Amino acid sequence: MNAVLTAVRHEIDGMNWKRKAAWVVVIFLLLQGLFLTGKRFIFGLGAVTNLTDEFPWGMWISFDVVGGVALAAGGFTLCFLVYVIGYHKFHDIVRPTVLTAFLGYVLVAVGLLYDLGKYYNVWHPMIMWNPHSVMFEVAWCVMLYLTVLFLEFVPVVLEKFKLVKPLKTLQKFTIPLVIAGVLLSTLHQSSLGSVFLIVPEKLHPLWYTPILPLLFFLSAVVVGPAMVIVESELSARVFRRGLELNILSELAKYLQVALFVYVGLKIQDFFVRKVVDQVFTMHYESLFMLLELGLLVGAMVILAFPKMRTNSRGLFWAGSLVVIGILLNRFNVSWIGMQRGSGATYMPALSEIGVSLFLVTAGALVFYFVCRFFPIFPAISEEDTERIESLKSRKEKRLSAQVVK
């Protein structure tokens, strides 16, 4: 115990004020989250949410579940590229991505527990079947995919504790596991779109289209690598490690192609369903649709410049725009576009946002500690070390400049 405390004290002493402030925020978010969790499970959904009979799905479905599943799509896209079609250049970022996907899905599952009225019945789809229900299929896929992600991640733990034998056995199953993961992801990513096929009378025609499942799947393929880029940037800063810039630039090329396909299909779909004029009515829904498209087009413009594509700031911006754009798409389908048809308006309560922030914070924290204690990131290469050195010297110069002032 004492040793831990000493280590923690040592850790805190070594932090600059920015890190200390960040930890204060993290701890605050955790505490308010614990408080809200208690409130939710003691007093029920009505006590912490703005949900109503007219609008029964809110922030926790839009963000924690529908959004969360999309943002965790990096796992299957990258594993597909690396293991199925043998694009080994991305090998070094597979581990952090699989870890993110795994934690992402765990968060989705936990978030779902908050949202389910009878959360203790969450396992019921296992024995009470209804193959007609899209939700039934999503439930099964997510359960199975969580298992797959767990098995994809376990080698890291086995490696750390040098358990060679189970590690070798598991590695033999890498490719079948990855293929299972890709299939399961294809199914449930698209099915989250199918979930909304059943509400033609409620979902706004800008978003309601028979190809919703296809659009959901493609947008997952788009946002997966974007999320990998954003995360790599963030974790590079947090862990003060080098950035795999050449890998990420390569990934950005792939992202660009995926974006073209997705945005192209979306626009073509407007024409096919003859709703092009509705995109520009400048009503509530039209503005959200334009924003959604604008964010993605913005990313496409940034990525069109090779200079931006090979530059860490450019990549970060493009990645963030895509992440926000696709997240907004999920919000639009499950929330913004549903309001008029349901005859209700919905704004999440502060406590709903609080719980979502709590879950994200908890996830990030687990990610942080797993990365510190397990071999997640590749050993730093030479060029990365150079980059870090140059960063350090730049910082020193800046500091000395301040002193001169």
Partner 1 sequence: MSKAILLDFTKCIGCRACEKACAEEHRLPDDPPTDKLNYKNYTVVLQRGNQYFRKMCMHCQTPVCVSVCPVAALEKTSDGPVIYYPDKCMGCRYCMMACPFQIPKYEWEKPVPVIRKCIMCNKRVAEGLETACAWVCPTAATRFGDREKLIQIAERRFATFPGKYVEYLYGKNEVGGTSVIMLSGIPFEEMGFRMDLGTTALPELTWTVMSKIPNVVMTGGILLGGISWIIHRRMQIDQEAHSHDKDHGNGKGGGK
Of 83-122, binders to partner 1 (CB under 8 A) are 83-86, 89, 115-119, 121-122
Task: Give the integer Cα–Cα distance in Å for 315 and 229.
Answer: 7
CB of 54 to partner 1, least distance (A): 6
**CB closer to partner 1 out of 44 and 166:** 44
Distance between first and last Cα of the chain: 46
Phi then psi for 56, rounded to 5 degrees?
-80, -10
**CB closer to partner 1 out of 166 and 176:** 176
CB of 300 to partner 1, least distance (A): 23
> Is residue 345 a contact residue for partner 1 (CB under 8 A)?
no
DSSP string, 41-105: HHH-HHHH----SS----HIIIIIIIIHHHHTTHHHHHHIIIIIS--GGGGGGHHHHHHHHHHHH
**CB closer to partner 1 out of 18 and 172:** 172
> Is residue 133 a contact residue for partner 1 (CB under 8 A)?
yes
Residues in binding contact with partner 1, number by CB under 8 A:
61
Residue 177: name the closest of 142, 153, 143 by CA: 153
Pick from 342, 351, 356, 361 the residue near partner 1 by CB under 8 A: 342
Amino acid at 231: E
**CB closer to partner 1 out of 6 and 381:** 381
Question: Percentages helix, strand, coil for the chain, rounded to the nearest 5?
Answer: 80, 0, 20
**CB closer to partner 1 out of 21 and 126:** 126
Paired tokens of 304:
């069109």
**CB closer to partner 1 out of 93 and 324:** 93
> Is residue 35 a contact residue for partner 1 (CB under 8 A)?
no
Give the dihedral sign, CA 372/374/377/382.
positive
Task: Give the integer Cα–Cα distance in Å for 136 and 325.
Answer: 28
> Is residue 172 a contact residue for partner 1 (CB under 8 A)?
no
Residue whose structure tokens are 């943002």: 71
Pick from 32, 186, 310, 312 the residue near partner 1 by CB under 8 A: 186
CB of 392 to partner 1, least distance (A): 27
Residue whose structure tokens are 């614990």: 34
Query: Among 176-184, 317-325, 353-361, 372-380, which window interacts with partner 1 (CB under 8 A)?
Result: 176-184
86 Rama sector, left if φ>0, alpha if ψ -120 to 50, beta otherwise: left
Secondary structure class of 263 (helix, strand, coil): helix
Which residues contribute to the site for partner 1 (CB under 8 A)?
41-47, 49, 51-54, 56-57, 80, 83-86, 89, 115-119, 121-122, 124-125, 128-139, 175-176, 179, 182-183, 186-187, 190-191, 194-195, 197-202, 213, 342-343
